[in-house]
Structure formats: structure tokens, C-alpha cells
Amino acid sequence: MEVQKGKQSLQFTEAPFIISSASIVGKKEGEGPLGECFDMVCEDDKFGEDTWEEAESTLQKEAVALTLGKAEQTSEDIRYLFAGDLLGQNIATSFGLQDYSVPLFGLYGACSTCGESLSLAAMTVAAGYADQVIAVTSSHFASAEKQFRFPLEYANQRPLSATWTVTGSAAFLVGKKKSKVQITGITTGKIMDYGIKDSMNMGAAMAPAAADCIAQHFDDFKRSPHDYDKIITGDLGTIGKEILIDLLLEKGYDISQVHTDCGIEIFDAATQNTGAGGSGCGCSAVTLSGHFLKHLEKGSLQRILFVPTGALLSTVSFNEGKTVPGIAHAVVLEHLKE
């Protein structure tokens, strides 16, 4: 079961485990610093499909298949799917996962969806409502550009503040069976809006939400940055990272020595022309699955705070001149000591 901690957090008395996980990425991600960490790198970013949207659906379908295969499980062993993407009506998820015939909770937390899906998966297992569930998220550079910015054929100029949407998907099998990694707690974020209207500067829009969630987590759990080997945000990039550190310093917390960002880790901005870094639902998901989860399994990391961040905008809200609110969800992941 779970125990309420403070205002926004839960600590699990019987913490669920991440039993298996798998990550699939596109060509550009495979050429980045973490390229060798991922389970599959596809040279064709359409993944053999006719459209970008179908390609993203294939990403999710294959990530779930790999995750099930690693655990020697089938879809019949899974009680629920918690899944989401960036596309309208979650179409990457619905078309990608429909053949599994598993009860589905379709989620939208923008780029924070990996944290949201893992949180809900852990809550469901810890509360005894399921023995095994899967959390899966995806994003695709071309489908996201087409929906939120400009189709690739426009060849538009990108400002340095813009982030590069990761083409990738990762799935996590969460359950009661023991493994090397436990989800021991969560902090659910609130919507934060600092009045940012620049859709090409998502790091600035999301950083306040990350700062609020992290500070609340410290307060709820009575912890400090020193209690974590790493505090890992999802999609802030280089600009958002600086804003986050400054905002938390104002709240009395210095995370500069333990903080990193998935959007910074996944690309080499200098050689890959990715602006401020990576973003998208797939960014934090594949970086956690392919990179950080392996360090937790080995024990080179003992406890991390994983904080994916999302910008809550749509083409409609942006075109109507609305601001870009942000949200973040924190998940505590720990190495299980024998």
C-alpha cells in the first residue's frame, strides 16, 4: 500500500519493481552519446510505415513487445497499460497498442507522460489492483514538428532555444516480482504558469513546474539534494536547466552537483545541431530505460529522482495567444540491496 507524504507525495510500503524495460530510437538518437545503450536503433525513421504517425505507433508496439520478451511474459499476463504520446487524441498510442487487447489508460502529460505513467503504474500495483502493468510513452520528431510547428518540407529555421523532439519509445513492466529496481515513492506535480508564450523555448516554460515539484518533494519526504545520487529532469535542455537551478536556489536547494537532464544527455548539441537539447515523451523514457535504469540495476546509482517535464500547449491554445503552462512528475527509483 501507499502512505501519503506531505501535500503531493506517496511513499510505498511495499514498493513495486521495474521488472523489465526496453527502448527503441531513431537514427539521430542512435548517433548520439547514448546510442549504444538502446535496445534497438532503426535506420529508417518511418520504421517501414507510410506516415510519421504510423511510425510512432510502431515504436510503441515494438517497445512493449521487447519489454514483454525480456520478462518472458505475454500480453495476457498484463492487467493494464498506462500509455500516452504527444499527438492529438493519443493516436500513436491507440493505433499502436490496440492489437494487445489489454485494458488501457490513455494519458496525456505532454513530455512529462513517462513520469505520469510510471506513477500511476506504481500506485496500481502497490495498492493491490494489479500484479503486472506496463507504462509506455513515445514521441517522434517528424510527427511532433508536423503537429506543433512546421512540416519538415518547410525547412524552417530553428532558434537556439528550441529543443529537438526525440524519436523513440520506451516501455516499463511494473509489478510485484522482485528485480534490482524499485519505485519507492512519487510526487505528483501541479500546473505552473509563468506567462511564457514562446513555443520555441519549452525549457523556460517547463522549468518552474520542475522546480515546484522538486521543492515539494524535498518538503514532503524531508529530504535534500544530498539524498540522491542523481536528480534527473526530462526535457529542460540547457536553457531550462539554468532556470531550474536558479529557481531552486531561491527556495533554498542547490541541486547543481547532482542534477542532469535527459534532453542534454541524449544528444551532442555541438555536433548534432539539436539546439538546447532533446524533448518529447520519448526523451526521458528512452534515456531512463537505456541509460539510468542500467546504472540502478548495477548499483552504481543507489537512488535517483526522475522528474520528466511537460509543456501543456496545443496548436489551438498557441494560435489563440495563450501562455504555455508546465507540469512535472517526480518518481523515486532505488537499487534493491540484497
Same domain, 119 and 221: no
Report the distance separating Cα 302 and Cα 189, nearest Å. 24
Domain boundary among 121, 151, 175: 175
Same domain, 208 and 152: no
Report the distance separating Cα 45 and Cα 58, nearest Å. 11
Same domain, 164 and 69: yes
State whether residue 298 is helix, strand or coil.
Answer: helix
* Residue ranges making up the domain that contains 90: 17-175
CB 97 within 8 A of CB 75: no
Provide the residue type at 185 as one letter.
G
Same domain, 156 and 32: yes
Residues 138-182: tens digit of each pLDDT: 999 887 776 665 544 444 444 444 678 999 999 999 999 999 999
Distance of CA 181 to the CA centre of its chain: 17
Same domain, 160 and 190: no
Query: Which CATH number do you get for residue 154?
Result: 3.40.47.40
Same domain, 50 and 120: yes
Domain boundary among 140, 157, 175: 175
Pairing, β 181-187 against β 9-12 = antiparallel
Q: So what's the pLDDT on residue 147?
A: 65
Distance of CA 94 to the CA centre of its chain: 18
pLDDT tens per residue across all 338 residues of the chain: 678 999 999 999 999 999 999 999 999 999 999 999 999 999 998 989 999 899 999 999 999 999 999 999 999 999 999 999 999 889 999 999 999 999 999 999 999 999 999 999 999 999 999 999 999 999 998 877 766 655 444 444 444 446 789 999 999 999 999 999 999 999 999 999 988 776 667 788 899 999 999 999 999 999 999 999 999 999 999 999 999 999 999 999 999 999 999 999 999 988 998 888 888 899 999 999 999 999 999 999 999 999 999 988 877 776 788 898 999 999 999 999 86
Same domain, 203 and 328: yes
> Has residue 10 been placed in a domain?
no
Domain boundary among 140, 175, 210: 175
Q: So what's the pLDDT on residue 275?
A: 82
Helical ranges in the chain per DSSP H: 27-30, 52-70, 91-97, 113-126, 141-148, 202-221, 237-250, 262-265, 269-272, 281-287, 293-298, 315-319
Q: So what's the pLDDT on residue 338?
A: 67
Provide the residue type at 124 as one letter.
T
Indicate the number of domains in the chain. Answer: 2
Same domain, 151 and 239: no
Rounded to the nearest 5°, which phi and psi values hold at 2?
Answer: -115, 150
Same domain, 142 and 263: no
Tell me the pTM: 0.94
> Has residue 205 been placed in a domain?
yes
Same domain, 249 and 211: yes
